[in-house]
Amino acid sequence: MLQNKNNCWGITEKHLDTILDMVNDPVIIINKKGTIIYVNEGYELHNGVKREWMLGRNISEKYPRDKLLEVLRTGKTIKNKEHYNESLGYNIVASFLPIKDDDGQTIAAAGIGTVSPVYKLNIRLSPILSTDQDKPSAAIAKGSLPSAFQNIVGESPKLLSCLRLSAKIARTDATVMLRGETGVGKELFAQGIHDASKRREHPFIAVNCAAIPENLIESELFGYSPGAFTGARTSGKTGKIELANTGTLFLDEIGDLSQSTQVKILRFLQERYVERIGGTKQIPVDVRIITATNKNLEQMVQQGEFRADLYYRLNVVPIHIPPLRERPGDIELLSYHYLDYYCKKYDKKMGFSLEAMDYLQDYSWPGNVRELKNIIEHAVIVCSEAKISPGYLNFMLSDYTDITGASTLNLHQAVEYTEKKIIKKALREAFNNKSKAIRYLGISRGAFYNKIKKYNIGNE
């Protein structure tokens, strides 16, 4: 296919394959029907997809707007064009070339990327670098948000809804309560709200209420006067609330405050002044309050563990940040984000194998984004190959001790787990062509769509 017509140079297709595999940038070629007939090793490395999986697949079925197809239709070269590439899933700078026969008819198209592994995701997550017509709808929605929220990685509808609400509330001084499991990024949201507010030029003071011993939390928050207690500084100490004056005070793990501290926080919210321990002076403080918790405060109120009046003062605008398992579409985004970050940090260059990405997407992520970040860092450190395989993914939690399948002994749950995984794999193999996936699975169309609905596949 790629040989000179008369082979006068003596260059064979194997020679050209060897040459193109030495190119670090991704190269892909499709024929006039849109079928992928060639990808080089650079393409495999950048995308973590084996060429055997790509060859023979038709990109028009899933990516009808791909630039390669445009070149097939028009026969015109596109040079150094930056755009959102549907088949790769991120922004690239690339050239697209028509391959023509002796009669001038376009018989194939080649794409040659000029994007590095680190640049790849930085561009992908920076909406201002792409033209509007090339962005997916989620990227457009995120691009309309203040820059303070652009470092929160994700494009799922649930996350975007939280970001839009956060951006709206940031313009006010309303008290915000961030709700969500451990590791979802509550402090990132708090910082974003502050940075997008009119208080952005003033202090952002974060306090982890669970990390400070109960006998020290009041002095940390309110400060103390000279000689207030044995061991106190002779100069006294300014409390966190006072330090946050004119800015934002972020109280993380608010559910861990003792009853006595809850009373003092409530009094401050009502009076808007603080008294240092051992002091009598009332110090006025103008501060915006953002709190966060992963606990069920409503249940704690009913059980008398958290003051109802304080709860109502703090829960003015609740923002529920979704756990990672509820936004599986962001797992690949986050994985490549942290892969690029740690490859740069540890001076490495690698990608994900297809199997590794399958495991990352199938895992339940009880530790959320924080757990994903730690697993990717571990993989980058210990992996010495060009691609991270499943063996380098250090899943340590009990619900995924066996990464070859479901860990439950409940037969019904295990069957559902396996069914969902196989259906998703069939859809990937079929490039999301449902008719092909049905043939792969060997089930009826009705059964297929019942299972799609049951497992909510495609709406993730």
Tokens 């043939």 locate to 439
As a CATH number, domain 146-320 is 3.40.50.300
Q: Which of 38, 40, 80, 32 is nearest to 60 (CA)?
A: 32
The domains of the chain are located at 13-116, 146-320, 405-460
Interatomic CA distance for residues 331 and 254, integer angstroms? 28
What pLDDT does residue 459 have?
56
Q: What is the pLDDT of residues 234-277, one digit of tens each?
A: 778 899 999 999 999 999 999 999 999 999 999 999 999 999 98
Residues 6 or more apart from 6 whose CB is under 8 A from it?
none
Interatomic CA distance for residues 252 and 187, integer angstroms? 8
Among the four given CATH numbers 1.20.58, 1.10.3210, 1.10.10, 1.10.150, the one describing domain 405-460: 1.10.10
For 20-34, give one letter per residue: b (16+ CB within 10 A) or e.
bbeeebbbbbbbeeb
Q: What is the pLDDT of residues 367-422, one digit of tens each?
A: 899 999 999 999 999 999 999 988 888 765 434 444 444 444 556 666 777 788 78
Tokens at residue 158, please? 């649930």
Interatomic CA distance for residues 38 and 36, integer angstroms? 6
Does the reported pTM lie above 0.75?
no
Q: What is the pLDDT of residues 281-300, one digit of tens each?
A: 899 999 999 999 999 999 99
Under 8 Å between Cβ of 232 and 222 = no
Under 8 Å between Cβ of 187 and 150 = no
| Class in CATH terms, 13-116 | alpha beta
Higher pLDDT, 414 or 358: 358
